[in-house]
């Protein structure tokens, strides 16, 4: 086994070494470069035994998918892509940095058994009641949205959005994950009723309000919990992955169903929809950034300060512009209409210091994931936080570093304090009365 791993490691290392020499020797080097990127990706996943909760295994595929989709769309003949060699170089550097960091610093967990020092039967009953209440609150947003007269997500954004929907939905997801993990951990069974309950509520939010991210968060987190405890076969994992990928373009057609006269769900080209939908944005935004190279200068790490300040300070009183805000204010001609283009995590690194910035930003990413992965090995609360943050890390591939730091502070920290209060409310109330 050790010999096999060593062989895979050297194979990936060879791919990392030969990539820089491809361009000078091939007239059309892009297919070869893409092949090497995929070779490094697949080889890395094999090296880490395909354990889905290991950082490289779940993060690297999305790091690649979000940035190479622009080239796939070009191959499919949908639209031409520009600056693909630079985009590929950024992906190569980010992927290689992540792989080497994981090899050197992140040990693969060998066991899923650990002490439960946070949850107990009483506390989980509190979580279950809170979950039902939060589900009801989420459903209340549907008539609120329908009565508002908003016709699209852009229209909703222009009018300040639906108050509290973001936090309530994240609270719902975190409580859902905690309940699922505790139930499976203690009883050894997957709670189907609670799963269906969460799916129906979040699917309703997607269909009527257009917030499909909430539904996809629940689907992905449910799969991660199921995989962690039941280890389904590779065929089942591959099938679930394909279903999840095809859900994205389908949800794009069916969202805000009440504002559509016709739903062309059977007219959706699923292949084009996957690559030109959610996963198209990051690579496209790097393309836009490079196309306007004369209009900006490298920021040399200034975004790090802005991202940290944005995570700590309340935006209502201390508005701080992150890289996504900067990008949209400079290059998004429809920002005034409420249309957001997002940005790119790799693009933010490139904005800071070119290829060096990409490497440094990847190290930041790997370091944060490393800390949370280590914490997930110590108890059920840590595992809940880690699984809760995985979709956030994935979504940040089309955003920036603040997309990770802000949820850690304003969602995870606040939710943990709220859970602590719910669990120990009698003790807190008595101390307050004293």
Helices (H), 48-120: 55-75, 84-105
Q: Is residue 432 assigned to a domain?
A: no
181 neighbors 244 (Cβ within 8 angstroms): no
Residue 227 lies in a domain: yes
- φ, ψ for residue 321, nearest 5 deg: -85, 120
CB 96 within 8 A of CB 16: yes
**What domain count does the chain have?**
3
Residue 312 lies in a domain: yes
The domain boundary residue, chosen from 105, 136, 151 = 105
314 in any annotated domain? yes
pTM value is: 0.93
> Quick one: which H or E segment has residue 418?
helix 414-423
Please tell me the predicted confidence (pLDDT) of residue 108.
Answer: 86
- Please list, in sequence order, all residues whose beta carbon lies within 8 angstroms of the beta carbon of residue 151, skipping any fewer than 6 positions away: 256, 259
What is the helix (H) or strand (E) element at residue 429, kind and residue range?
A: helix 425-433
Give the ranges where 231-317 is alpha helix by DSSP (H): 234-254, 270-276, 281-291, 302-312
Residues 6+ apart with CB under 8 A from 329: 321, 335
- Is the domain of 99 the same as that of 134? no
Within-domain flag for 70: yes
Nearest to 362 by CA among 347, 373, 376: 347
Q: How many CB atoms lie within 10 A of CB 20?
A: 12
Same domain membership, residue 133 and residue 79:
no
Cβ neighbourhood burial of 111 (10 Å; 0-12, 13-18, 19+): exposed
Q: Are residues 213 and 164 in the same domain?
A: yes
- Verify that 89 and 130 share a domain, yes or no: no
pLDDT mean for each 10 residues of the chain (434 residues):
88 96 83 96 95 96 97 95 97 98 90 65 88 96 85 68 90 96 91 96 90 92 93 84 81 60 60 86 96 96 94 84 94 76 96 98 98 92 95 97 96 90 64 48
Residue at a domain's end among 73, 105, 137: 105
49: domain range?
2-105
Q: What is 215-247 written as a DSSP string? A: HHHHHHHHHHHHHHHH---HHHHHHHHHHHHHH
């Amino acid at each position: 086994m050790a010999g096999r791993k060593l062989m895979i490691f050297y194979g990936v290392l060879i791919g990392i070494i030969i990539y820089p020499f491809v361009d000078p020797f091939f007239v059309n080097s892009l297919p070869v470069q893409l092949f090497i990127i995929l070779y490094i990706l697949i080889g890395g996943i094999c090296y880490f035994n395909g354990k889905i909760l290991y950082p490289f295994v779940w993060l690297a595929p999305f790091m690649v998918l979000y940035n190479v989709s622009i080239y796939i769309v070009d191959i499919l003949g949908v639209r031409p892509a520009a600056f693909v060699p630079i985009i590929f170089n950024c992906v190569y550097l980010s992927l290689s940095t992540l792989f080497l960091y994981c090899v050197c610093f992140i040990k693969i967990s060998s066991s899923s058994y650990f002490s439960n020092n946070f949850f107990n039967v009483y506390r989980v009953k509190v979580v279950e009641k809170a979950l039902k209440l939060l589900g009801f609150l989420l459903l209340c947003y549907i008539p609120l949205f329908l009565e508002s007269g908003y016709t699209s997500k852009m229209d909703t954004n222009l009018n300040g959005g639906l108050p509290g929907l973001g936090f309530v939905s994240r609270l719902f997801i975190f409580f859902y994950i905690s309940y699922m993990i505790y139930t499976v951990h203690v009883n050894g069974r997957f709670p189907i009723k609670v799963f269906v309950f969460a799916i129906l509520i979040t699917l309703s939010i997607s269909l009527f309000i257009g917030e499909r991210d909430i539904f996809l968060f629940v689907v992905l987190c449910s799969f991660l919990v199921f995989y962690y405890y039941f280890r389904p076969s590779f065929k089942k994992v591959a099938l679930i992955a394909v279903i999840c990928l095809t859900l994205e373009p389908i949800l794009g057609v069916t969202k805000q169903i009440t504002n559509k006269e016709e739903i062309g769900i059977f007219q959706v080209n699923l292949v084009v929809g996957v690559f030109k939908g959610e996963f198209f944005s990051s690579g496209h935004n790097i393309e836009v950034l490079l196309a306007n190279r004369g209009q900006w200068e490298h920021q040399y790490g200034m975004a790090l300060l802005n991202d940290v300040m944005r995570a700590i300070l309340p935006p209502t009183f201390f508005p701080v512009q992150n890289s996504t805000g900067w990008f949209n204010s400079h290059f998004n001609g429809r920002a005034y209409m409420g249309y957001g283009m997002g940005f790119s995590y790799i693009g933010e690194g490139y904005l800071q210091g070119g290829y060096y910035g990409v490497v440094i930003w990847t190290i930041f990413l790997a370091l944060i994931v490393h800390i949370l992965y280590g914490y997930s090995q110590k108890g059920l609360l840590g595992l809940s936080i880690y699984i809760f943050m995985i979709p956030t890390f994935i979504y940040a591939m089309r955003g920036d570093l603040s997309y990770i730091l802000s949820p850690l502070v304003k969602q995870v920290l606040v939710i943990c304090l709220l859970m602590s209060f719910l669990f120990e409310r009698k003790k807190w109330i008595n101390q307050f009365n004293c």
